Structure 1
Amino acid sequence: MPVPETTPAEDLDLLIAAARTAGTIAQQHFRANPEIWQKGDESPVTEADIAIDRVLRTDLLAARPGYGWLSEETEDDAERLDDDRVFILDPIDGTRAFIDGQDSYAHALAVAEHGRVIAGVVYLPEKDKLYAAARDLGATLNGQPIRASAQRSEAGAQLLATKPTMKEAHWPGGIPPVKRVYRPSLAYRMALVAEGHFDGMATFRPTWEWDIAAGAILIEESGGIVTDGHGRDLRFNRRHPQADGVLTASPGLHAALLGRRRTA
């Protein structure tokens, strides 16, 4: 469908309100023994995930009836491929952390237009941290501007990554001499890179769009570089909504890390 006459800033305001609604619902279930099911891929889903997905789908599509919908907790519909703009969201990113009572779960919401994210929000209600960005308008944390790290050297850099990500097989040019750190939510990891709290983030597993769409625009608008695991541009609202990993860092550090990903 044709793109409605709304700006990225207007979409961002809508996403911020929706993220806060998601946070209110999540907190009603957090540390309250929510009902849990196992999905076909053996990943868990809770009644909070389902409730947030249902409410946000109703509210967001009512506000933007011409937009498509892609969510981790909604059965995919190929009709979204015909829409110029699409909501891409993970009702709760870090569901296992949510179940375990950890406060680092997040709500990740984005709008993509013709394959590029134009607005995105990552909200951590338990930490009262709301990251937001819109195309060409910069990125913020709780309303204050944020910038990605200016780190250029691998030495001394802090890279958010799982232990398997740092195996030799992923780095033909040698494992980079960085300090590995970890946080449960992928969206939160990307937000922390946008904030400049860490210098980069890497994952080389196939990565769902709903986990990375909001984080991608946060990083781009904060001055960082974000690509797939092989240095290619990320595109969204694809038929199979997965990226081939994610590599993000400050410009100089990203180039150095990418160089180690390639064979001579």
Structure 2
Amino acid sequence: MTAVRPSPDQWITDLELITIAAKAAGEKALSYFRKNPDVQWKNEGRSPVSEADYAANDILKEKLLTARPNYGWLSEETDDDEARLGCDTVFVVDPIDGTRAFIAGKDVWCVSVAVVHVGRPVAGVLFAPALDELFQATLTGDAQKNGAAINVRAGVDSTLRIALAEDAVGLLEYGYRTSVSRIAHVPSLAYRIAMIADGRIDGTIVKKNSHDWDLAAADLILERAGGALFGLDGQPLSYNRPNVRHTILCAAAMPALPALIAASQGLEGH
């Protein structure tokens, strides 16, 4: 049976809900910021997680699932429950995207909250409390930053501002590489994509093994600002699958995206 798609009004209501929750979680995380929060290591010592991550996650889970008990739940800081796979609509959450930056006392981290319906985001919020920045989008209307409409950079001059790892530059197609100015590392992946949405940079290449929670909210914000986040196959992402990891991805304004994808094919396998 085909899932019944709720009206756009439902996603606008959900946007209001996730905005309130993201702000509350962000303010809670901010109360730990630059105060030496306790830090643990997960994923065999590869990823840090702080007490602020868990505190923000608790707030999000309580506020969101209390309001929408029929929605599924996927969060970086909650043990995965396969029950989410039976839900048409799911909250996809990263309580602090950019935990390493948070621990280091750097401002570029954010709370990322998306509503995903049948595999695609339909409402998304990024809240960067240390920067006092709020990004929002639903399936209708413009993406917004602090209440004002945002758009990808209109027109592209001879030099493209692309955020990518230093070791990836040499793997780009040569002709494309010569037109690129590399942007230094942005510690939050979600925020990096938001920087494309508001026109500060032109694109990014995302290394393999990013997760649904890093991407879902930013994906929608970028889409509504005139850009897209695609795999090297030129297809949009599908969320809330059994495997929440992704392969190499490219994000840019729509007119610039095909060339970025074509130039990035050499990264596959690295």
Aligning the two structures, in what range does the TM-score lie when normalised by the shorter sequence?
over 0.9
Moved more, 173-182 or 199-208: 173-182
Q: Structure 1 residue 178 and structure 2 residue 180: aligned?
A: yes
CA gap 1:215/1:10 in 2 versus in 1, 3 angstroms: same
Aligned-pair distance for 1:32?
0.7
Partner SS for 1:30: coil
Q: Structure 1 residue 61 and structure 2 residue 40: aligned?
A: no
Instruction: Using structure 1 for the length normalisation, give the TM-score.
Output: 0.93
> Partner residue of 1:77?
81
> Partner residue of 1:223?
226
How far, CA to CA, are the matches of 2:71 and 2:178 in structure 1?
42
Aligned with residue 117 of structure 1, among 110, 115, 121? 121
Aligned-pair distance for 1:243?
1.7
Q: 1:27-48 CA distances to partner (integer Å, 9 max, x unpaired)?
A: 1100111000000242000000
Q: Which amino acid aligns with 2:57?
A: D
CA gap 1:121/1:237 in 2 versus in 1, 3 angstroms: same
CA gap 1:60/1:115 in 2 versus in 1, 3 angstroms: same
Aligned-pair distance for 1:204?
2.8
Note if contact 2:21-2:59 (Cα within 8 Å) is conserved in structure 1. no
Note if contact 1:94-1:186 (Cα within 8 Å) is conserved in structure 2. yes
Note if contact 2:232-2:265 (Cα within 8 Å) is conserved in structure 1. no
Q: Which amino acid aligns with 1:76?
A: D
Q: Which amino acid aligns with 2:179?
A: P
How far, CA to CA, are the matches of 1:258 and 1:3 in structure 2?
31
Percent sequence identity over aligned pairs: 38
> Partner residue of 2:107?
103
Aligned residues: 261
Structure 1 alignment gaps of length 5 or more: none
> Partner residue of 2:203?
200
Q: 1:106-151 CA distances to partner (integer Å, 9 max, x unpaired)?
A: 1111000000100001111011000000012220000000011224
> Partner residue of 1:92?
96
Runs of 4+ in structure 1 over 3 Å off: 1-6, 170-176
Instruction: Using structure 2 for the length normalisation, give the TM-score.
Output: 0.91
How far, CA to CA, are the matches of 1:13 and 1:242 in structure 2?
28
Aligned with residue 194 of structure 2, among 191, 202, 212? 191
Moved more, 240-249 or 87-96: 240-249
Q: Which amino acid aligns with 2:15?
A: L
How far, CA to CA, are the matches of 2:39 and 2:193 in structure 1?
27
Q: Structure 1 residue 147 and structure 2 residue 156: aligned?
A: no
Note if contact 1:67-1:85 (Cα within 8 Å) is conserved in structure 2. yes
How far, CA to CA, are the matches of 1:164 and 1:11 in structure 2?
40
Moved more, 95-104 or 239-248: 239-248
> Partner residue of 1:130?
134
> Partner residue of 1:38?
41
